[in-house]
Structure 1
């Protein structure tokens, strides 16, 4: 079965020539042919008309709609959402290809402002919907000819009822967003993309410097770390201003909404109970001595050091042979690993390589990091990488393709139901990494290579679980401190160092300047409290993989069904077929025990 048009490399697609092969560039024409395309102008006009007519037809009337009329209203709302999402996906992806291009930045900003204005008449929808009496809501959403399939979306919406403001205030916040958080986000992105780092006389951008932190040459790692510290220190006042402003803006809105905590809104949007997140956080922090502290003490012995420096945290093992992985090899590795689980999984991933759905090369002005953008359910996702041929880049490819596959499968749910809560959004990505790792481990016979591979996986898991929960703690403490008043850069630095010492343990000492490394983490700016989703996803996948190993028969179909559900089910429903329950505190210990087991294997190799 094919999920797209015939998969064949289009000769019109472009690629960037690198030392690692010809790396694919995005082909954004599936969204719009060009930034000045008549199709884009037509969609903007249609969006304005559809939003205005929707408001004229339904404002003040939602509570009077019967089941079929409510279904029609929701479908119209979904179509508007899809149209706006398509426009902003195109503008956003073009911008992330080159954040230093003024024309791209202007187009994204202008379109964001236009769409905000056009969709202001729709603000009534969620506000009015949440005022529908419970009895009416129940009757409409259980009727056989009504919108029953959309109920999970609106149950989540109605969970916001206790925190809803007046219509006028909600419209004000909607209009003001473009000069509030969105503007500070853009300032952060453009500043970060424009930073230049002098590493031993060579001028580099952030992504390339961060990659040097995994270099075999310790002197290069140290030079990279010191270059990062120097530039972050020079810009720390600006980054402190960004964090102060965003934290205060959030505090003001939370105060008006009467949110019980700064992170509560994230839990609501994730459709996860605060106590589940707290159980995860407590399980991980309690495991710091058994996992990160123990592993880093082991690593210090491998490196022959009394103390690790920050530039040793992700250093390769001394016995590990430096390796550059070409793009074709990376592609084959991941697709083979996916196919080993299920041919369908590889088939879902293959078009990303052949149809211009991946932008892989490091380029001037390109946003750092990696992501999979779902765009809208009527198109397809796009994956962004900054591929530099490192073995970890192969795992990043496996990770982002997992997101892409998940997004493709969930697209059948439609725009409103496809979006997966952040707590489950990392499931397919981390599972894709695990499949790739397990395949490589099974094929490795050399003891030194096996040890290096296993150590690399432990470090990835520590970065995903321990580091992300420490990031979550950092955010919790930062927002709590900000509630007491303006934070100086030194205040934020101190919070960062407290969390670092707790999570990394006594094996480390810290160079001057490391205290500013909080400043480059984009999640703190773009998605407050997002980071626990990574740890949630890793723990969930570890438990899922254990279930797969214990009973592989029929697992694949249950797995695809879970991904295809998108946001249509609660995590309890999605995990029930596997016999798992994230609300059980012991659930998280299962995931953590897998990491401990890998460390046990590494310690046994010492004997």
Structure 2
């Protein structure tokens, strides 16, 4: 089989995804949070009942999601576009993960309520994982399960390869920029070189102009803006692997970990709350294994193409 091209990596499966109503999604997210932590579920209910979430899908409104805190009022506000897709349910969970993080530090002194973006993205990605796992468990058909597994695996590809390519590109760019202007031709070359390294030369073609199309590279106040997402993705998977092994008692450990994110380094957090040494490979190997764990199920379900009962839909 020919090697896939850059554009093939993000090509969707030819399947019809389930559509969600907002109230249905709110109930599902709250239910999944409850299965892990009653405190997370309580925060979600408070957000929905207090109308903290602006989710209308209307013309001219951008996709995506954003969450900000109001420390004095001890509330959060979420801005997102809910169009009924599974991705929107995950975004809802993701942003509520940020809101939960805000809630566990809201009674601390102001200076220790501020935590790095890498740990903010840990909390949001962890919440997204809780809901994603629940959706996969409760999938009503092999068709739906395949689509959900594909979303999880696509996220792993994005965070561990696409965003790594962005990091490699930015690193190379800043090194060359010290010597003077960097030409368009050189930017293209650096971008393609970074993609080849990040994707292990596995693609037949790349996207040398990606640097020109990605907003993150133009946020001058946030160099390496992409890095916290990959760190949060990996760290949250390592934390989630512990949650699965320890069961319901881990909810209090998780809240305590988040509570300390503004007053400890991530190495200190992991040592105190997880008993893990982040300077060694063991934790990160466990995190990577958790990130790609859906692959076996996906390959089993798609070994002979689409399940017979789903063909022709």
Range of TM-score over shorter length: 0.7 to 0.9
How many Å separate the matches in 2 of 1:518 and 1:370? Answer: 23
Normalized against structure 2, the TM-score is what?
Answer: 0.85
Q: Give CA-to-partner distance per residue, 1:494-547, whole Å, 9 cap, x none.
A: 22222223333434434xxx4333234333314112322212112112121221
Paired residue secondary structure (2:55): strand
2:104 matched to which residue of 1?
A: 409
| Pairing 1:523–2:219 present | no
Q: 2:149·2:294 contact (CA, 8 Å) conserved in 1?
A: yes
Paired residue secondary structure (2:106): helix
| Pairing 1:438–2:133 present | yes
Paired residue secondary structure (1:374): strand
Residue in structure 2 matching 1:419, options 95, 110, 114: 114
How far residue 317 of structure 1 moved from its aligned partner, in angstroms, is 1.8
1:133 matched to which residue of 2?
A: none
How far residue 308 of structure 1 moved from its aligned partner, in angstroms, is 3.6
How far residue 362 of structure 1 moved from its aligned partner, in angstroms, is 4.9
Q: 2:64·2:91 contact (CA, 8 Å) conserved in 1?
A: no
How many Å separate the matches in 1 of 2:83 and 2:9? Answer: 19
1:344 matched to which residue of 2?
A: 39
Q: 1:481·1:487 contact (CA, 8 Å) conserved in 2?
A: yes
2:90 matched to which residue of 1?
A: 395
How far residue 481 of structure 1 moved from its aligned partner, in angstroms, is 1.7
The 5 Å alignment of 1:46-57 reads none
Q: Give CA-to-partner distance per residue, 1:282-321, whole Å, 9 cap, x none.
A: xxxxxxxxxxxxxxxxxxx7xxxx4544443333323x22
2:289 matched to which residue of 1?
A: 593
1:447/1:363 CA distance change after superposition, 3 Å:
closer
| Pairing 1:545–2:233 present | no
Q: 2:261·2:269 contact (CA, 8 Å) conserved in 1?
A: no
Normalized against structure 1, the TM-score is what?
Answer: 0.46
How far residue 585 of structure 1 moved from its aligned partner, in angstroms, is 2.6
1:584 matched to which residue of 2?
A: 280
1:135 matched to which residue of 2?
A: none
How far residue 392 of structure 1 moved from its aligned partner, in angstroms, is 1.2
How far residue 349 of structure 1 moved from its aligned partner, in angstroms, is 1.9
1:562 matched to which residue of 2?
A: 257
Paired residue secondary structure (1:347): helix
How many Å separate the matches in 2 of 1:313 and 1:337? Answer: 30
Q: 1:548·1:555 contact (CA, 8 Å) conserved in 2?
A: yes
Residue in structure 2 matching 1:472, options 150, 161, 167: 167
2:299 matched to which residue of 1?
A: 603
How many Å separate the matches in 1 of 2:172 and 2:72? Answer: 37
Q: Give CA-to-partner distance per residue, 1:357-409, whole Å, 9 cap, x none.
A: 22223556656632212244544222221333221121111111101110121
| Pairing 1:485–2:180 present | yes
Q: 2:6·2:203 contact (CA, 8 Å) conserved in 1?
A: no
1:313 matched to which residue of 2?
A: 9
Q: Which runs of 5+ in 1 are unaligned?
A: 1-300
Q: Which runs of 5+ in 2 are unaligned?
A: 305-313
